[in-house]
């Protein structure tokens, strides 16, 4: 697990905060936290694209952010649990793991080959 992948996952983690913030924030403090989360998540996502393929980074960023948001809405905000949501989250995680496995480092990226 190198630092670039950790950046993508932390970026997705902050994406969950700001997506929930946009929906549920009602106080200046919550709005401030939402804005800061947007800046942190985009900064980390953009920087991860320096060493990893941007298409991969963005798909994982969006995917993990979505899965995290759906999970948080069910766990903390009373959204109904549906089995289909769980199945889709598992498919998504499998895809992310697959991408992690087949994605090479910068040298591989520049030659246009993976793993």
Work out the burial of residue 85: count CB atoms within 10 Å of its CB; fewer than 13 is exposed, 13-18 middle, 19 or more buried: middle
Stretch that binds other proteins, among 7-15, 24-32, 81-89 (CB under 8 A): 81-89
In the bound complex, what is the minimum distance in angstroms from residue 32's beta carbon to other proteins?
A: 19
Pick from 54, 75, 77, 105: which binds other proteins (CB under 8 A)?
Answer: 54
Q: How far apart are CA 5 and CA 47, in angstroms?
A: 11
Q: How far apart are CA 85 and CA 67, in angstroms?
A: 9
Q: Which is nearer to other proteins, 25 or 88 (CB)?
A: 88
Residue 16 makes contact with other proteins by CB under 8 A: no
């Amino acid at each position: 697990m190198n630092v670039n992948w950790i950046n993508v996952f932390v970026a997705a983690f902050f994406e969950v905060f700001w997506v929930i913030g946009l929906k549920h924030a009602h106080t200046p403090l919550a709005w401030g936290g939402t804005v800061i989360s947007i800046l942190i998540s985009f900064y980390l996502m953009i920087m991860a694209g320096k060493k990893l393929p941007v298409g991969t980074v963005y798909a994982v960023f969006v995917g993990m952010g979505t899965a995290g948001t759906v999970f948080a809405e069910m766990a903390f905000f009373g959204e109904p649990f549906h089995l289909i949501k769980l199945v889709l989250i598992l498919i998504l995680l499998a895809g992310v793991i697959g991408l992690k496995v087949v994605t090479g480092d910068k040298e591989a990226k520049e030659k246009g080959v993976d793993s």
